[in-house]
Structure 1
Amino acid sequence: MPDHLSNGDTNNHTNSNSNGQNGLNDHASGSDSNRVSGAAHFDLDAVVVGAGFAGIYLLHQLRKEGLRVKIVEAGHGLGGVWYWNSYPGARTDTPVPAYSLNIPEVFETWKWTEEHPGHEELKAYFRHIDSVLDISRDVVYGERLTTATFNEAIGKWQLESDQGTTFTAQFFCPCLGFASKAYFPDWPGLQNNFQGRILHPNLWPSEDIDLREKKVVVVGTGATGIQIAQEVSRDAKQLTCFVRTPNLSWPLIRRIISPEQTLKERPLLKYWLGEKRFTNVGGWLYDLTTRGVMDDTPEEREARLEADYREGGLKWCFCSYNNILGTQEGNDEVYKFWRRKTHERMADKEKAELLAPLKPPHPFAGKRTALEQDYYEQMDKPNVTLVDVKSNPVVKAVSNGLVTADGTVHEADIIILATGYDAVTGGLRQISITGLNGLSLEEKWKDATHSYLGLMISGMPNMFYTYGPLSPTAYATGPAIGELQAHWIIDTMRKMREQGLARIDATVDGERKWREKVDTIHAYTLREHVEGSWYLGLNVPGKRREVLIYSGGLPMYKMEIMDAIVPDWKGFTVI
């Protein structure tokens, strides 16, 4: 049998992590010495699911309110996506300190070493959080929440984990993130025929993988696939990359953060993290521009884009022009520049044309723009083969590799499935959630994903989720969204307590109006014309096309959600 790390039957197409994953190697980023497990019962005020940025911050704030709270976490350490993701090249595309929590006792005692830290430094950061705040004291590690049912008779949520641990709480707060359910293709023979090793980035083992003298196939060209292929190509004997849609990747320049820079910036962090990042649509620490792409002359535009390209990172998305996703004409100009720069870096013009074709595969930045260090140079190497699986798709797996439609066997000792996630909605749907009148989440969402404010679902009272469907999610940095939503949750709980209320629920009309708003804002952007995007649920076969993410930016989102509870519970029913 192949050495699958998927922990189960890949014919199920998906696999979960941040809310549960059994049988994996312990690659903990934090201590589990305080782990509570077994068939215990907890009577609490609130249960949080997931110990990533949002779950940690929400727990910290709930503690300060004096509430009895526990986190249920499938892993054996803090970090969420950074607990599970240990694959080669795993690195954040958001620079620090924007990609960190606004907790003074944490940031005043922490020193980043890189502007775009890798997974090892991020794991160390979460260990530091734990050492300062003792988060693990209130975490039930190694257990996946399986069911959550609202008991109308007592007005509380009753929850159970896969280990039999039960919880009763007034408030249920899933903080699962948008990438907590891995997607696996259902190619015939993948589970049973292939005799090599199959890896998924989200379930990467803790031990080193020796790639020397190995034939490796990487499937997928999302941000993760780019990072992995870039690193694997350095060691593998032969690397074959399956390309369905090329990633329009922008350079990342690795920069060291000196101790002097840390000391200089530390006094500014309270303002940067507490106020400034909520003035930026993506929660970054950059000032926005009012300049449009076509406002510049061709010479000015070339100079500006060249400077951005040399600087690297995603700052250009916010600071160079304000309408890259607003007009096709301007978007085409940015793509032409990027394509020319990419071709200049590659000697093999056939490969260059596949990765940067004359006709854009989609609007530039319409899908997630990966950051790369030397991806195009690595793909240009003779030991790397690129396969266009859009025109020549995979049809099956055999003992020694994958077979494409033209009959070619692409040999592999290791297959890396950088095939992404059942993104945005998959995390919540992996829990059996039942609300009022026996309404299940599956039934609620059978025709469309419904939510009010990207925080609550009608019929699921006192259930607050973070960083999920119909909120800014993937269009803004995770810590900023998690903090903003956590404060809204705390404000809501506090207001309920002040008014003697026991229950809050979103209205169906509130959901309808919010869905209309999310769809309308999305339609103003070029993302509306992107196919195959997980932003629209199109990366998983059979998943319906629908807008899953709010595109209005953090400042507008903050105003929307805060206005809803002040002064009169707009869009809610309260008891």
Structure 2
Amino acid sequence: MHYDLDALIVGAGFGGVYLLHQLRKEGLRAKIVEAGNGLGGVWNSNSYPGARSDTPIPTYSLNIPEVYQTWTWNERYPGEQEFKAYFRHLDNVLGMSKDVVYGEKVIKATFDAAIDGWQIRTDRGTTFTARFFCPCLGFASKNYTPDWPGIKDVYKGLIVHPNQWPSTGVDMKGKKVAVVGTGATGVQVAQEAARDSAQLTCFVRTPNLSWPMCQEKIDPEQYEKDRPLLEYQLGTKRFTTVGGFLYEETERVLADDTPEEREVRLEEAYKIGGYYLFFCAYINVLGDQEGNDALYAFWRRKTHERMTDKKKAEILAPLKPPHPFAGKRPSLEQDYYEQMDKPHVTLVDVVNNPITHLTSNAIVTADGVAYEADIIVLATGYDAITGGLRNIEITGLDGLTLEEKWKDSTTSYLGLATSGFPNMFYVYGPLSPTAYASGPAVVESQAHWIMDTIKKMRDQNATRIDATTKAELEWREKIETIHAYTLRDKIESSWYLGTNIPGKRREVLCYSGGLPMYRKEIFDAIKPDWKGFTLKTTDSN
């Protein structure tokens, strides 16, 4: 099967779905290639126990009136089942699936200079010719699996990565379960596994500095009363805040308060839960080491108060901070520390006692102890932000591949385009606010930029657009400069920096200047004049 298109999108998550909707509204021929069997991206593939958003609704939803006017959420922080239902509703309303090729992966995309377009192929042989190539892969589309000896050919139990959790579920009742990893996914899985398993062993490298979620049900009557506000909240308000949330942001910083005042404010934020702490209690908690240390001390005390096993508490909330508080995105937990405190739960510090190999029924650490497990959950994360793009063989001008281009440094202009790869726009990827802002607010901003760019090219009879190397290098420098102003610069290991993957170089991968500043940067680059781009028009052919 072959398709001739104006645009080919890869991925049917929030970004891909929203971009397809905008392209169709302009009358452009567009399709999505989606590896899964439905819309939703990670929310379609994530079926592991505890899978849940850490962004409250309605922030974490798309600004499509036909959809939000006919949909009511059930929980403040929806789980994977509710997101699957949301995307089914979206599909029913918009008829997206007729323009989605399911069950196929794009494996090769090559820019064809003769036609100023892309030739694209999937793993099942479907081909596409498209003027624009738009990877909307998200930041977590490539799983990371450790290569411990015995993992492939010795261990006889079940090994499962959360992103590949069977839709039919995994029965953990009465089983010996091991969870490796303490990122957001590891926290969510462990929190649930502790309820059902006979024995749970959690392997901890860097403890997650988790903050209370404070989940709550949505009152449908109140939601209906508030529905008229959605147009403003989703269409305007989100884009005025640093993280794309709907909080009323404060200008107060930690250093503004006395210790007594800070204690009162932090107690309130702890009871409210969610990311209220980082936007309403205080802003820029990563701007001051002394204030950040005080915040960590408060959190550590609250965590220890919730646990009776002080040895476990010290592993999960050590005296010395493992990194600046919020330097890595804190997971939002419901009763994680109470669950980890249970006597059938064992915590293993793999920094001082790393995993060496697997036997037929156990994980073995450096001290020779074998931790038996019927089920091993590899919450070991993803080759985040760049992994999905590099997983496709993408070839630009003069035969240059993206893998070759990014061999020594990940470069991009505006977190949207890469020099030498004309007419390729990606969303929610490297060198944009990807990890530091609400996903829908970021991808909608980027999708509208892509649409404005395409329309302006059409008005100017342009067939090709390419970022300049100079603009790309200046953008890289700007991102590194902003990053250096925060305590994130002191973090050695994080998926934000690529260092969660062995052998992957350490580099800043996200724009941390906030969503309003980012939006100004990207739209100023195309209005009123092009900045940092070269164009080819039909007049110059």
- TM (norm. structure 2) is 0.99
C-alpha RMSD of the superposition: 0.6
What pairs up with 1:536-555 in 2 under 5 angstroms? Answer: 536-555=497-516
2:66 is the counterpart of 1:105: yes
Conservation of the 8 A alpha-carbon contact between 2:177 and 2:375:
yes
Give the corresponding residue for 1:233: 194
Match of 1:452 among 413, 426, 435: 413
Aligned letter for 1:545? Answer: R
2:330 is the counterpart of 1:372: no
Give the corresponding residue for 2:98: 137
Conservation of the 8 A alpha-carbon contact between 2:412 and 2:475:
yes
Runs (4 or more) in structure 1 with deviation over 3 Å come to none
Give the corresponding residue for 1:422: 383
Separation of aligned partners in 1, 2:517 and 2:82: 32
2:305 is the counterpart of 1:344: yes
Give the corresponding residue for 1:121: 82
Q: Deviations over 1:374-426 (max 9, x none)?
A: 10011000000000000000000110111100001010000000000000000
Separation of aligned partners in 1, 2:428 and 2:178: 32
For 1:70, what is the secondary structure of its paired residue?
A: strand
Separation of aligned partners in 2, 1:211 and 1:169: 46
Conservation of the 8 A alpha-carbon contact between 2:47 and 2:169:
no
Q: CA deviation at 1:567?
A: 2.1
Match of 1:183 among 133, 137, 144: 144
Separation of aligned partners in 2, 1:195 and 1:67: 51
2:532 is the counterpart of 1:571: yes
What pairs up with 1:78-477 in 2 under 5 angstroms? Answer: 78-477=39-438
Q: Deviations over 1:246-276 (max 9, x none)?
A: 0000001111111112112110101100110
Q: CA deviation at 1:58?
A: 0.2
Q: CA deviation at 1:208?
A: 2.4
For 1:188, what is the secondary structure of its paired residue?
A: coil
Separation of aligned partners in 1, 2:170 and 2:497: 34
Match of 1:506 among 443, 467, 470: 467
For 2:293, what is the secondary structure of its paired residue?
A: helix
2:466 is the counterpart of 1:495: no
Conservation of the 8 A alpha-carbon contact between 1:151 and 1:158:
yes
Q: Deviations over 1:233-257 (max 9, x none)?
A: 0000000000011000000111111
Aligned letter for 1:547? Answer: V
For 1:332, what is the secondary structure of its paired residue?
A: helix
Separation of aligned partners in 2, 1:266 and 1:50: 29
Aligned letter for 2:314? Answer: E
Separation of aligned partners in 1, 2:315 and 2:272: 25
For 2:357, what is the secondary structure of its paired residue?
A: strand
Separation of aligned partners in 1, 2:116 and 2:37: 31
Q: Deviations over 1:261-302 (max 9, x none)?
A: 211211010110011001111100011111110211111110
Percentage identity across aligned positions?
70
Q: CA deviation at 1:323?
A: 2.5
Q: Deviations over 1:121-177 (max 9, x none)?
A: 010000000000000010000000000000111211000000000000100000000
Give the corresponding residue for 1:68: 29
Separation of aligned partners in 1, 2:431 and 2:7: 23
For 1:158, what is the secondary structure of its paired residue?
A: strand
For 1:277, what is the secondary structure of its paired residue?
A: helix
Conservation of the 8 A alpha-carbon contact between 1:42 and 1:168:
yes
Q: CA deviation at 1:357?
A: 0.6
Q: CA deviation at 1:515?
A: 0.2
For 2:496, what is the secondary structure of its paired residue?
A: helix
- TM (norm. structure 1) is 0.93
For 1:537, what is the secondary structure of its paired residue?
A: coil
Q: CA deviation at 1:196?
A: 0.2
Equivalent residues, number: 536
Aligned letter for 1:178? Answer: F
Q: CA deviation at 1:527?
A: 0.6
Q: Deviations over 1:296-327 (max 9, x none)?
A: 11111101100110111111111111231001
Separation of aligned partners in 2, 1:213 and 1:44: 53
Give the corresponding residue for 1:484: 445
Separation of aligned partners in 2, 1:512 and 1:264: 49
Give the corresponding residue for 2:539: none
Aligned letter for 2:271? Answer: R
Q: Deviations over 1:62-102 (max 9, x none)?
A: 00111000000000100001011110000000000000000
Separation of aligned partners in 1, 2:64 and 2:341: 44
Separation of aligned partners in 2, 1:399 and 1:358: 37
Q: CA deviation at 1:554?
A: 0.4
Conservation of the 8 A alpha-carbon contact between 1:323 and 1:330:
no
Q: Deviations over 1:497-554 (max 9, x none)?
A: 0111111000000000000000000000101111210000010000000000000010
Q: CA deviation at 1:191?
A: 0.6
Conservation of the 8 A alpha-carbon contact between 1:99 and 1:479:
yes
Q: Which runs of 5+ in 2 are unaligned?
A: 537-541
Separation of aligned partners in 2, 1:110 and 1:322: 32
Q: CA deviation at 1:352?
A: 0.4
Separation of aligned partners in 2, 1:465 and 1:271: 27
Aligned letter for 1:417? Answer: L
Conservation of the 8 A alpha-carbon contact between 1:145 and 1:160:
yes
Conservation of the 8 A alpha-carbon contact between 2:48 and 2:169:
no
Separation of aligned partners in 1, 2:421 and 2:169: 44
Q: CA deviation at 1:568?
A: 2.0
Q: CA deviation at 1:211?
A: 1.0
Separation of aligned partners in 2, 1:75 and 1:292: 44
Give the corresponding residue for 1:522: 483
Aligned letter for 1:574? Answer: L
For 2:200, what is the secondary structure of its paired residue?
A: strand
